[in-house]
Structures are given as structure tokens and as C-alpha cells.
Chains A and B, each alone.
Chain A
């Protein structure tokens, strides 16, 4: 919006959790952070990754919602659940390929990142992108990204045979065209004739 896009680079995340705290400050959901913060392998490493909603072009969460509570707006942002409609069924929590929506039991409502729509719709940056010190979460123009990063932005993901395109970009090594999130894509290292047997 206004020429800027959201880029996520988990390799830059230093685990400061500023994004969590900044997100929590928003008055519409004070105290509840919408950042999906991951300790990748806490036992072995201090690596962390912070994720926001990927705002898919065809949002799975919206398509499975039985209460028509999730809407996608004209500029591509997928909103959090509409308060009068959400029934807390967790369909979207289970359906999202990225695992973004969270059910908040106290409110019986799903809550997820809406890219600070009250800010981005008037040209401001989302809270997380504003405070991230390493700019692992960043909200800039594509030209700035091309000029300042070695990685390339990717917004196409494969989950098995399902292809998902998103509004938010993931920073990936320069040769990666699309990102496959299937575990099998990264673990199988045997010969080709054994591949069909894996399924």
C-alpha cells in the first residue's frame, strides 16, 4: 500500500521481542500480541523467527470460516476475525498452512495480525516493522529492498501440491524462486525411484 510491501527475513531476527511488545500496545487488542514468535530449536540454538500474517491472495482461513468472519479488503489485507461473527470454532487455526491465527480463549475469538490496518491504510508502517531493530520485519518499497538486501523476496509457497501466493514477502536466497514448506522436500535425500514410496 502506498507503494510499500511487507518483507520478513527470519535470519535477521535477534529475538529481542520488540515486535511482540509493540504489537501489544495497539489499543484495539491491548496486551495481546499478534506476532507469531518462534524459538526455532531452543535446546540447541538461540535462533528465533518472528512472523506476521502472510495475507494470502486466496486466504484459507477466510475460506474455511463458517461464520463469514474473515474478510479480505481491497488492498489485499486479510482482516482479523470480525467480533460479532467469530464463534471461536478454530477452523481457521487448523486450516492456515502457516499456523498464524490464534484462538484467544478469554474472548472466544480468533485474533491475528491485520498489518495494523488502522495505520497502514493511512500510510503509516505497522508497529512491528517500525520497532524491529534489525529490520527482520520491514515495510518498505520494493526498490529499497532491491537496493539494500542480498536476498530476494519470494511470495510463492508450496505445501505439498498446494500453491499459495501471499502479499507478504519472505526473504530467501537469491536463487530460490518459490519456497516449498513440505518437510519431505527437505529431508529426502535418497534415489529418485524411492520417492513414490514415501507417500
Chain B
């Protein structure tokens, strides 16, 4: 029984990308709640850096998704 057929090659890379995205998402959740709390407490200074860093995290997630999409398309339709 072939434990690692050619079809399963890219799965490790995809699993790694998904783990990274999960970590980025956790960071983003914390950032959102921290920004919200500080805004409601009357300190709106954190809003701009919060939004910028959230944008960077989202851009990283998007890049990782595109990576996953590329691997998928290369292995199954390449």
C-alpha cells in the first residue's frame, strides 16, 4: 500500500500554510478586541495602527491562501 502516493505531495505544504493562517487569525482576533476596548475607553489613538497591522495580517492571510491555491492547481491540474 503506497503510504505517500504522488497525489499527497503538496499536502504537507498546505497543512503548514493553514497552521500559519490559524496563528495569524488568532493575532488578528486579539488585535481587534484590544483596539475596540481601548477605543471605547476613550483612547482612540490605537485605532490607526490597529487598522494598519490588521491590514498587514490580512494581506499575509491572502498571500497564504493564494499559495495554497497555486499548489492545488499545480498538483491537480498541472
A interface residues with partner B (beta carbon < 8 Å): 1-2, 74-75, 121
Expressed in whole angstroms, the minimum distance between the Cβ of B54 and any Cβ of chain A is 37
Alpha-carbon distance A143/B5, docked complex (angstroms): 24
Contact with A along B15-46 (1 / 0, CB 8 A): 00000000000000000000000000000000
Expressed in whole angstroms, the minimum distance between the Cβ of A72 and any Cβ of chain B is 11
Contacts of B1 in A (CB 8 A): 1-2, 75, 121
Expressed in whole angstroms, the minimum distance between the Cβ of A197 and any Cβ of chain B is 43
Q: Does B73 contact A (CB under 8 A)?
A: no
**9 contacts across the A-B interface (CB closer than 8 A):** A1-B1, A2-B1, A74-B2, A74-B5, A74-B7, A74-B8, A75-B1, A75-B2, A121-B1
The secondary structure that dominates the A interface is: loop
The secondary structure that dominates the B interface is: loop
Alpha-carbon distance A75/B1, docked complex (angstroms): 7
Chain B residue at smallest Cβ distance from A122 = B1
Contacts of B7 in A (CB 8 A): 74
Chain A residue at smallest Cβ distance from B7 = A74
Q: A2-B1, A74-B5 provided; 4 other pairs, C-beta below 8 A?
A: A74-B2, A74-B7, A74-B8, A121-B1
Chain A residue at smallest Cβ distance from B5 = A74
Expressed in whole angstroms, the minimum distance between the Cβ of A68 and any Cβ of chain B is 16
Contacts of A74 in B (CB 8 A): 2, 5, 7-8
Contacts of B2 in A (CB 8 A): 74-75
Alpha-carbon distance A140/B1, docked complex (angstroms): 15
Contacts of B5 in A (CB 8 A): 74
Interface centre among B1, B7, B8 (most CB of A within 10 A): B1
Alpha-carbon distance A99/B21, docked complex (angstroms): 47
- For window 46-73 of B, CB contacts with A under 8 Å fall at none
Chain B residue at smallest Cβ distance from A121 = B1
Alpha-carbon distance A1/B7, docked complex (angstroms): 17
Contacts of B8 in A (CB 8 A): 74
Expressed in whole angstroms, the minimum distance between the Cβ of B3 and any Cβ of chain A is 9
Expressed in whole angstroms, the minimum distance between the Cβ of A184 and any Cβ of chain B is 37
